[in-house]
Structure 1
């Protein structure tokens, strides 16, 4: 190993923790089963660490030239017009806006659309299971200040607002993974641009905030943390959902990596170190878990403990919806307890998970049979795709009713 030669956040603890016995035991066990070393080379980790200071200068220049100079209303109108009709429909677009949309509208040279479409199909096939799994993986990362602090300061994922913000994320996942969702004119493509601009506003507010510690955490919503979020839709659920019966092959995980890499490109997350294959993705996740500082403190605790209660059934609902909400809430609790590390769940004030924690195990044999039949019979595969698309839209609508996702930053920080 060599010492870091670039600026890295103080809470990036990889080199401090790498030789801990538990880390090396996990490394040895993985190598015994999978026949490759999950520990990346030191130069790769340094690039990952330095990316905590990388952001999105192309989108930031556009916001400065348009939103700051012409006002939020005019900026939003210009953005919407360019998304819906192309940049040439905005005759007074500044050069920064044209650079942004040139990047947005021109496919990157590495893009394989068939591979990206295959990855989107795998993500759809997981249905609502991946939404529930994402809860557990998200709560695990709330121990890290660079992730927890932006959410705590904005208040977007605390208290009852946690439900609305998570449903916006689910809407994004649905939009980008629908057939044609990332094609020109597709709903996911439009959503990606709006989310990208929203991140610029949040980042700017946080960079000026007295509580933000640039030396310890890097930049808010950095390329490094955003890349890990993309990984949360590919290799992590690809491996973990086997425990609930979903069969995801290594080739399918690599298709997912390609799909999410393209999503990241549209979001302005374009690191040259983003994993291209299964081995590289595992090595990045190894570095991400080893580097954790567990320093988010009370902010992280609040985010973790307020998340699940935000999904509890609301009083006053008609009884059929009340019953469905109760079952879905308990299932979410069970899935979260099943996948979240025991010490993480037990060290916080969390809902009682028994007997719902057994749900993933009970469904696994049935899902394994269905998954096997789907693989053997192509018509069943097509039927499963249509069914899962319908189920996840129904799940979303039950949660949101007629409310629409807006992808707007909070008007003001909570503190």
Structure 2
């Protein structure tokens, strides 16, 4: 019974009416096996992170996560389903035109596209754009100076659970160029959204968010209609909104944990801007407001609840995804500099993964396919003084009024170089490349 989030529950139920071809046979009343509500089962929430029992006793947050686990994208999914009428290239071209020039510029624009763009344009009242712009300015510093060294480590964290990782396995992004492309696309998206004005209505970040949503919706459509493998009774909704929350809010979760460790119940002014920026970016990605709390305690609670209600599972699929992503070569060239930069980045990513997602336990990481060797630690030790030192220096300089503009110009220039290194993102999902997967 819905007690706390009736509007969110209605949004979930509306999917069948909005897209009967895709969700007509989807049982939104059936709890999928991935949703672990039993108190005596293993979940994705490690015991070293938090105690699961109090979360299960919180009916409000349990209802929130259970409901959001069944939510896809009520406006992007119908547009992606037009693959039966339009080619993927046509859908992409129309979406890009609508993002860059407005829906009026799309000749005979389908109603589904108008609804999609209209939903992204409908900025909620809870967004403070002054904070968003300030948050973007702050976030482009780590995007330029730290993200290139840790993105892979954070990316593979999404593969540590069978139920959440399965859509990626289905797309065939297990190894090689496709794995590298997915990592670089992720890094590119988070980087471009921090540029000045990127999340404005006609900015490149707005378009990138729309493209990411289309990609996820294509994965949902192909998983349910073309893979012949997706078991909704076990896995539920492919790429549900609740699985996109960790990627969108991980930085803010870490800020919230830091605040709580320091005995604070509120964010500082700087932290508040970063949180608001992330919340708006998540809104553009389709996440509902209910999954985007703004206070430290609420952010931590919701993030922990998502893991506490996700059944534990790590199988061969996860291991292949982790190993394939770690083995992928991300640099644009194979010069000596590129190979050295690749080695340093891998070492930092491994350390990030071990510390952030394995509680510092190298044996746990090893079991998942990430080996942090002594050579990795040596590379980190040799390069960290420059990498961390530069980040710290630029961060401090950005807080000095007389240096702020000069610092920002330097960061923007570096960020644009990073984007060139990542390559041009495609943000597409082609069912022709999908591969069979094993669930053993």
Superposition TM-score, scaled by structure 1 size: 0.81
Describe the shift of the 1:395–1:331 C-alpha distance in structure 2 as closer, same or farther (beyond 3 A). Answer: farther
Aligned to 2:329: 311
Match of 2:21 in 1: none
State the match for 1:48 in structure 2: 65
Q: Which residue of 2 aligns with 1:323?
A: 340
Provide structure 2 residue ranges, at least 5 long, that are not aligned to the other structure: 10-28
2:111 to 89, 95, 98: 95
Q: Structure 1 CA distance, aligned partners of 2:93 and 2:79?
A: 14
Match of residue 225, structure 1, among 223, 236, 243:
243
Partner of 1:290: 308
The alpha carbon displacement at 1:406 in A equals 1.4
Change (3 A) 1:286 1:92: same
User: Of the candidates 413, 424, 427, which is equivalent to residue 404 of structure 1?
Assistant: 424
Q: CA deviation at 1:278?
A: 1.6
Instruction: Pick from 278, 281, 297 the counterpart of residue 299 of structure 2.
Output: 281
**Contact 1:199–1:221, Cα closer than 8 Å, also in 2:** yes
Q: Show CA shifts across 1:367-397 (max 9, x none).
A: 6963784376233444443333333443443
Contact between 2:248 and 2:278, CA under 8 Å: does it hold in 1? Answer: yes
CA separation of 1:133 and 1:235: change in aligned 2, threshold 3 A = farther
d(CA) in 2 for partners of 1:53 and 1:397? 37
Q: Does 1:357 align with 2:377?
A: yes
Structure 1 residue 238, shift from structure 2 partner:
6.9
The two structures have a TM-score, normalised by structure 2, of 0.77
Equivalent residue, structure 2, for 1:379: 402
When structure 1 is superposed on structure 2, of 228-237 and 274-283 the one drifting more is 228-237
Q: Distance in 2 between matches of 1:387 and 1:93?
A: 41
Aligned counterpart for 1:121 among listed residues 137, 149, 152: 137
- Per the alignment, residue 196 of structure 1 pairs with 213
CA RMSD, aligned part only?
Answer: 3.8
Quote the Cα distance in structure 1 between the aligned partners of 2:404 and 2:424.
31
Task: Indicate the residue corresponding to 1:148 in structure 2.
Answer: 165
SS at match of 2:193: helix
The count of residues paired between Structure 1 and Structure 2 equals 397
SS in 1 for 2:123: coil
In 2, the alpha carbon distance for the partners of 1:165 and 1:338 equals: 23
1: CA distance, partners of 2:95 / 2:146: 34
CA distance in 2, matches of 1:356, 1:265: 37
* 1:326-357 Cα shifts (integer Å, max 9, x gaps): 33333333444443412431213434432533
- Which 5+ residue runs of structure 1 have no aligned equivalent? 29-36
CA deviation profile, 1:250-305 (whole Å, cap 9, x unmatched): 54444333222222222222243421222211101221333343314110111112
Q: CA deviation at 1:240?
A: 7.5
